[in-house]
Amino acid sequence: MESVNLVEASKTLQKKQNETLQDFFSSKKQEKLNKKVVWHEFFNEIPKDITSPSIIIAHEFFDALPIFKFQYTKNGWREILVDIKEEIEDSKNSGEFRFVLAPGETQASISLTDTPRFDAEKKVGNVIEVSAESFDITREIASRINENGGFGLIFDYGKDNVSNDSLRGVSNHKFVSILKEPGSCDITADVDFSLLKSACSHLAFPYGPITQKKFLETMGIYTRLGMLLKKGGLNSSQRKSLVSGVKRLTSLENNVGMGNIYKVLAITNNQLVPYSFDSDETLVNETRQTEGLEEEKIN
């Protein structure tokens, strides 16, 4: 392995990740690898002189990237901007942030909405979200895979079509207004996987997205669970935690479970469809039966 490059903008989280990895690097077998781990604030900081095939994993990375929001009006697409409410006497809301429509065209509304992708969205009042940075980073991922080989896997929540009004804040595992207390919550938006796939054009081959449930089941999550449960040395609480963890990762739960809302996109440099991405539900069921760990058997 030539190097391990981790992209993390937060210096605090970089430090925490380093501390977490020390347990893994504690063995003599991994001492050399420890010296090869490098952190970067941005993806384009990863050295371009790496010539060996790349394995690129992006887990809940794209949902945190900046987006532009646009609303369709009788005059065309208008960018949604952030403004400050005017000071009004005796108003408790004065000075707070608010969303407003740009009075005219902006550079973003001109350059990012002029595409047939949004023709079906041209109805007054419709809102779309566009992440130009997601497109650029995916384009660079595809370029690296095209030049040096390897593959990429993108895990995130989103859909395989244009994102609409999904921008939201998350604090203490609950949705909150992103304008109420700026800086005190995580800001996230659904990933438009169709945009990521378009970024691979003429460079690499995207496959999927498929559900996280299908990916994990066909890649052997039940086999792994069975190995851990048979290994021994686990108390009752630990065994239950493992089983509940697998259920949580693969749950459909009325289409809002992690197994359904999280999607997986693969990027390769050839037209050989990756395993899992050409499999249907029949293969998923056969995999479960072969492993002897169907859902009802891991209760």
pTM: 0.85
Predicted confidence at residue 92, as pLDDT, reads: 54
Extract the tokens encoding 256.
Answer: 């809002």
Per-residue pLDDT reduced to its tens digit, 181-235: 778 888 999 999 999 999 999 999 999 999 999 999 999 999 999 999 988 788 8
Per-residue pLDDT reduced to its tens digit, 84-131: 887 655 455 545 889 999 999 999 999 999 999 999 999 999 999 999
Query: How many beta carbons lie within 10 A of that of residue 99, not counting itself?
Result: 13
Average pLDDT of the segment spanning 274-298: 56
CA angle 178, 140, 33 (to 5 degrees): 95
Read off the pLDDT band of 299 (50, 70, 90). very low
> Residues 191, 59, 262, 138: what is their CA dihedral angle, to the nearest 10 degrees?
40
CATH code for 51-66+131-298? 3.40.50.12710
Give residue 10's Cα distance to chain centre: 17
* Domain residue ranges of the chain, discontinuous segments joined by +: 1-50, 51-66+131-298, 68-129
Is the CB of residue 284 less than 8 Å from the CB of residue 212?
A: no
